[in-house]
């Protein structure tokens, strides 16, 4: 146990618990990345979160907040302190008239759904799953598929954050609007979001219908009702079959009825597809046949042959089974460019380089199915847009998501070349990547070019609220143009850089990588006092508005647990 932590904690309020464990192994849902934080902290109150931030600042540690870890990139990896708000997840207030709801930010969408349902309310829109935390969904610009909705965060009315100086701030369209726009897609880089206020919708059921289309029908109806005939529409493109599964849903008053049970799809089909995907890692050329067989068995072998329908509560019916571990590479582009994007990618996958216009060879490359095709439209939303909203400002947005499964957690052989070509096409079409996903070929300069003034606006707010980079890591340094201001010679002293990434040799890790940070505080503490911007930390002007917990002594006993590296909860003074 680093004595600095014991010392600094002993100066903070012993009545406020610091719930930290020392041997947590973090991994993303897809087990694409693992990391071993020095401390894993699960606060239960705002006072605990403020104490944690103050302690981290004094100990010169980076803080990463993780929700449910569903972002598949290294965004949530750290060797420093990982904060999780799963125990800070209560519903705080509902105004029945305005349907304005305030929750603690760690609540998962599934728990929130249950609690809202008891009050006759629900979320207006959902993505494919509801396992994420509400703060995580907001932070990366999570979306569903509907022309009548934008990002899931468009229902957000206000957010409260604990900033790097320990201060609790609230922001909304009218109060601190720039902070609000920055916090709506924060990438975890502004502070810890602690409370979320949003507008709920009266609970509703949806009647959904799913059927197989030919790709040519999808494209011919693209601008004549494919996306507008129903409130919710999503398309799974089967690239080798030149077909698609079209799923559409509308609010309904019809009585509930479950989808027909499907022995193949719910049980057997799941395992068959998994094993065929695993086999395809050795024999990739079977993938067109796998697509034909698996999707034929599930959705019928011919367009229109099988139609599946159901009526379900929206909070269940909008979700889908995402199957297995996966890489996801999703980009947002103007909806009217969709047919061109799909035809070019389709041509490339079928070896027609002239039509594709993509300067990479698809020879010997076979990919997984489906490619998700979804939409959103933020252009009519009255709320301020997040600075880092990837959707189109002036019209509807198409999302194309190139999913690659990782059967039994093993990386598929085609990933690098497929994603290189896919990302090249997306960039050629002026698309912007979904922040949470596995994009790889863009750098900070290009992302800046894609966001221009909005990126500058976000960077300015970020720099104001976290000048030392307490909430920044390698992912941010790689993807955001975090340029040191001219008057700073030692900028971002707390930002954590990656020092190594390596294969993890433990069972259950598959091809997942262990991400290791620079642990720069070790060399800093070894060499004595901490420096930031050329000043001793102890000489830094303290923030007068920060409600620093009072300095008091604490029980040294608690630290012994950490020193031994035990997975114990520290209840300081509790
Ligand atoms: C199976 C699956 C299905 C998915 N479906 C969709 C979909 O349909 N549509 C879509 O757009 N995306 C989808 N995603 C992506 C997912 O919605 C995002 O990755 C989302 O950010 C995950 O939320 P989380 O709670 O797991 O956050 P994490 O992945 O844990 O964190 C994401 C970001 O949020 C930050 N963060 C989390 N909590 C806080 C907080 N309290 N304060 C400040 N920052 C915080 C983290 O620091 C990090 O930067 C899917 C992902 C998976 C794995
Ligand atoms: O990231 C995502 O994963 C699923 C696809 O399996 C989905 O819809 C995302 O978005």
Cα of 299 from ligand 2 centre, angstroms: 19
73-to-28, 29, 220, 434, 500 alpha-carbon distances in Å: 8, 10, 35, 11, 15
Cα of 36 from ligand 2 centre, angstroms: 26
Spatial neighbors of 262 by CB under 8 A, at least 6 apart, are: 269, 298
Pocket of ligand 2 (CB under 6 A): 127-128, 322, 326, 328, 372, 401, 403
Per-residue model confidence (pLDDT) at position 559: 26
Query: In three state form, how does the secondary structure of 165-229 look?
Result: CCCEEEEECCCCHHHHHHHHCCCCCCCEEEEEEEECEECCEEEEEEEEEEHHHHHHCHHHHHCCC
Per-residue model confidence (pLDDT) at position 267: 83
Ligand 1 atom index nearest CA of 436: 19
Read off the pLDDT of residues 353-375 as tens digits, 9 standing for 90 and up: 999 999 999 999 999 999 999 99
SS3 content of the chain, % helix, strand, coil (to 5): 30, 25, 45
Give the residue, by CA position, lying nearest to ligand 2 atom 7. 128
Q: Are strands 63-66 and 81-84 parallel, antiparallel or unpaired?
A: parallel
Per-residue model confidence (pLDDT) at position 540: 33
Phi-psi region of 107 (alpha: psi -120 to 50; beta: other; left: phi over 0): beta
- Distance between CA 536 and CA 42 in Å, rounded? 30
- Full-model pTM: 0.92
Cβ(159)–Cβ(93) below 8 Å: no
- Distance between CA 92 and CA 44 in Å, rounded? 14
Q: Helix 46-59 and helix 3-10: axis angle, to 10°?
A: 130
End-to-end CA distance of the chain: 21
Ligand 1 atom index nearest CA of 66: 30
- Distance between CA 501 and CA 35 in Å, rounded? 9
Sign of the Cα torsion 460, 464, 466, 469 reads: positive
Per-residue model confidence (pLDDT) at position 521: 84
Give the residue, by CA position, lying nearest to ligand 1 atom 27. 136
> Which of 522, 334, 352, 557 lies closest to 430, judged by CA?
334
Per-residue model confidence (pLDDT) at position 567: 28
Per-residue model confidence (pLDDT) at position 489: 56
Q: Helix 453-465 and helix 177-184: axis angle, to 10°?
A: 100
Pocket of ligand 1 (CB under 6 A): 29-30, 64-72, 75-76, 85, 105, 127-129, 132-133, 135-137, 139-140, 142-143, 186-188, 192-193, 322, 434, 436
Cβ(296)–Cβ(246) below 8 Å: no
Ranges of the chain with pLDDT below 50? 526-574
Ligand 1 atom index nearest CA of 142: 11
Helices (H), 318-381: 338-349, 353-356
DSSP-derived letter for residue 159 is: E
Helices (H), 284-337: 287-299, 314-317
- Distance between CA 483 and CA 470 in Å, rounded? 16
Cβ(509)–Cβ(531) below 8 Å: no
Cα of 384 from ligand 2 centre, angstroms: 26
Cβ(469)–Cβ(477) below 8 Å: no
Length, in residues, of the chain:
574
């Amino acid at each position: 146990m680093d004595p600095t932590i014991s010392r600094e904690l002993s100066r903070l309020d012993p009545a406020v618990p610091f719930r930290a464990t020392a041997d947590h192994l973090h991994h993303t849902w897809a087990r694409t990345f693992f990391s071993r934080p020095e401390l894993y902290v699960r606060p239960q109150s705002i006072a605990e979160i403020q104490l944690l931030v103050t302690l981290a600042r004094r100990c010169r540690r980076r803080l990463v907040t993780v929700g449910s870890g569903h972002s598949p990139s290294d965004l949530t990896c750290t060797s420093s302190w990982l904060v999780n708000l799963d125990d800070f997840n209560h519903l705080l207030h509902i105004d029945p008239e305005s349907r304005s709801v305030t929750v603690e930010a760690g609540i998962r969408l599934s728990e929130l759904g249950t609690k809202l349902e008891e009050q006759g309310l629900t979320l207006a829109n959902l993505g494919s799953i509801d396992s994420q935390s509400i703060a995580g969904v907001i932070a990366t610009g999570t979306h569903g598929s509907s022309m009548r909705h934008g990002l899931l965060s468009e229902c957000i009315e206000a957010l409260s954050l604990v900033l790097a100086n320990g201060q609790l701030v609230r922001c909304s369209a009218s109060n601190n609007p720039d902070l609000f726009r920055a916090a709506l897609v924060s990438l975890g880089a502004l502070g810890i979001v602690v409370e979320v206020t949003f507008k709920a919708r009266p609970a509703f059921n949806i009647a959904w219908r799913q059927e197989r289309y030919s790709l040519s029908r999808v494209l011919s109806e693209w601008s004549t009702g494919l996306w507008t005939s129903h409130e919710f529409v999503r398309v799974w493109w089967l690239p080798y079959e030149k077909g698609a599964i079209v799923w559409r849903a509308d609010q309904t008053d019809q009585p509930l009825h479950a989808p027909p049970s499907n022995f193949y799809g719910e049980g057997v089909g799941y395992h068959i597809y998994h094993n065929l995907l695993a086999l395809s890692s050795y024999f990739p050329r079977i993938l067109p046949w796998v697509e034909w067989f698996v999707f034929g068995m599930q959705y019928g072998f011919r367009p229109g042959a099988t139609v599946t329908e159901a009526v379900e509560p929206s909070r269940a019916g909008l979700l889908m089974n995402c199957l297995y571990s996966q890489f996801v590479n999703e980009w947002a582009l103007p909806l009217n460019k969709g047919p061109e994007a799909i035809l070019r990618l389709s041509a490339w996958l079928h070896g027609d380089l002239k039509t594709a216009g993509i300067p990479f060879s698809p020879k010997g490359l076979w990919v997984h199915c489906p490619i998700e095709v979804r939409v959103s439209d933020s252009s009519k939303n009255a709320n301020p847009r997040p600075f880092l909203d990837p959707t189109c400002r002036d019209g509807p947005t198409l999302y194309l998501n190139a999913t690659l499964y990782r059967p039994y957690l093993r990386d598929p052989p085609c990933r690098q070349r497929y994603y290189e070509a896919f990302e090249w096409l997306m960039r050629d079409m002026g698309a912007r990547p979904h922040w949470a996903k596995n994009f790889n070929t863009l750098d900070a300069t290009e992302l800046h070019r894609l966001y221009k003034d909005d990126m500058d606006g976000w960077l300015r707010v970020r720099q104001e609220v976290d000048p030392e980079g307490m909430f920044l890591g390698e992912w941010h340094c790689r993807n955001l143009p975090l340029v040191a201001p001219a008057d700073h010679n030692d900028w971002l002293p707390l930002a954590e850089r990656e020092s190594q990434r390596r294969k993890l040799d433990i069972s259950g890790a598959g091809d997942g990588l262990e991400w290791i940070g620079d642990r720069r505080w070790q060399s800093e503490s070894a060499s004595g006092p901490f420096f930031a911007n050329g000043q001793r930390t102890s000489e830094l002007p303290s923030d007068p508005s920060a409600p620093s917990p009072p300095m008091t002594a604490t029980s040294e006993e608690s630290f012994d647990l950490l020193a031994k590296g035990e997975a114990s909860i520290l209840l300081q003074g509790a």
